[in-house]
Copies of this chain bind each other. A is one copy, B any other.
């Protein structure tokens, strides 16, 4: 175990290329609380240039394999990049790091790529708050591209992937998969579609289904391209990277990128403020009292405005 270091020192060391310091700064962010905010603040001073790509889709769609093939392609072009694999269901243990090695072992000796799994402890807003902080740390450490891969398609994961500059939605051959993507709200956030495992039956039909849905739903100036890929062979990785680049150029030219980032800034500030306010309210009320209050509301003995008065009363005192 290395000696304890201040969060600000970790960020400085990470900027100088110390990968161990980068790992420890990201662990601080993952843990939340004061250390996370100090690391985030320190990183903020040196961040603002990284471009983020979200990769999402149902579990089993092959996102990690696809991301790994994309990393291999990008590294072959000489570009540095980082991958943040987010798995909110994982407990907070060293297992995430082991997962990295197993999943993306081929890149582990390459200094131009940094791969990190991040688990959050499931607290409300945890992932939505920790992801931008981790991205900021990777940005400050000098990675011009950060790929954020989410494991599932829960609402928060969709929000995190959808908050990227470019969002890639991965589906597999099969009609049900396109339907599930719809159901999870993925149509709305997709800037690029990938039909992964495209060597399987039904890939052409799934591409046609997606194009048909896009005919109905595309309204703006950017129509998401549908890329066929096979993560295990690397097929389609170059086309995917080209599609991401095309989307980036499009939103840089249209002002869409600046608008996305402004919205993201508002959302993040809003989350931070709301989280602190809720923590403050929660700290002012005894948990037993709160449970009794909820029971009284459910039984109709207490109306919600009076309940709110009681919860907020201490704040006005």
Contact (Cβ within 8 A) B277 A40: no
What residues of B have a CB within 8 angstroms of the CB of A44 in the complex? Answer: 300, 303
Contact (Cβ within 8 A) B188 A308: no
Contact (Cβ within 8 A) B307 A213: no
Instruction: Determine chain A's interface SS by DSSP, over half rule.
Output: helix
- List which A264-317 residues lie within 8 A (CB) of chain B: 265-266, 268-269, 272-274, 276-278, 280-281, 294, 297-298, 300, 303-308, 311-312, 315
State how many angstroms separate the Cβ of A135 from the closest Cβ of chain B: 13
Complex: how many Å from CA A110 to CA B72?
A: 72
What residues of B have a CB within 8 angstroms of the CB of A27 in the complex? Answer: none
Contact (Cβ within 8 A) A307 B269: yes
Give the bracket for the number of chain A residues in contact with chain B: 35 or more
Which chain B residue lies CB-closest to A37? B305
Complex: how many Å from CA A40 to CA B303?
A: 9
State how many angstroms separate the Cβ of A45 from the closest Cβ of chain B: 8
- Select which of B47, B273, B308 is within 8 A of A308 by beta carbon: B273
- Select which of B183, B274, B297 is within 8 A of A265 by beta carbon: B297
Complex: how many Å from CA A298 to CA B265?
A: 7
- List which A154-183 residues lie within 8 A (CB) of chain B: 176, 179-180, 182-183
Given the known inter-chain contacts A37-B305, A179-B216, please indicate yes or no for A281 contacting B273, CB distance below 8 A: yes
- Select which of B40, B48, B217, B294 is within 8 A of A305 by beta carbon: B40
Most buried by B among A45, A185, A305: A305
Contact (Cβ within 8 A) A183 B179: no
Most buried by B among A176, A303, A306: A303
Contact (Cβ within 8 A) B274 A274: yes
Interface membership of A208, Cβ < 8 A: no
Interface membership of A41, Cβ < 8 A: yes
Which chain B residue lies CB-closest to A48? B300
Given the known inter-chain contacts A182-B183, A308-B269, A312-B276, please indicate yes or no for A262 contacting B37, CB distance below 8 A: no
What residues of B have a CB within 8 angstroms of the CB of A303 in the complex? Answer: 40-41, 44-45
**What are the 7 A-B residue pairs with the smallest beta carbon separation, nearest first?**
A182-B182, A44-B303, A272-B308, A277-B277, A48-B300, A176-B216, A269-B304
Give me 26 A-to-B residue pairs in the complex whose CB atoms sit less than 8 angstroms apart, sorted by A's number: A41-B306, A44-B300, A44-B303, A176-B216, A179-B213, A179-B216, A180-B217, A182-B187, A183-B187, A183-B188, A183-B217, A261-B298, A265-B294, A265-B297, A269-B297, A269-B304, A269-B308, A272-B308, A273-B278, A273-B281, A273-B311, A274-B274, A276-B308, A277-B277, A277-B278, A277-B312
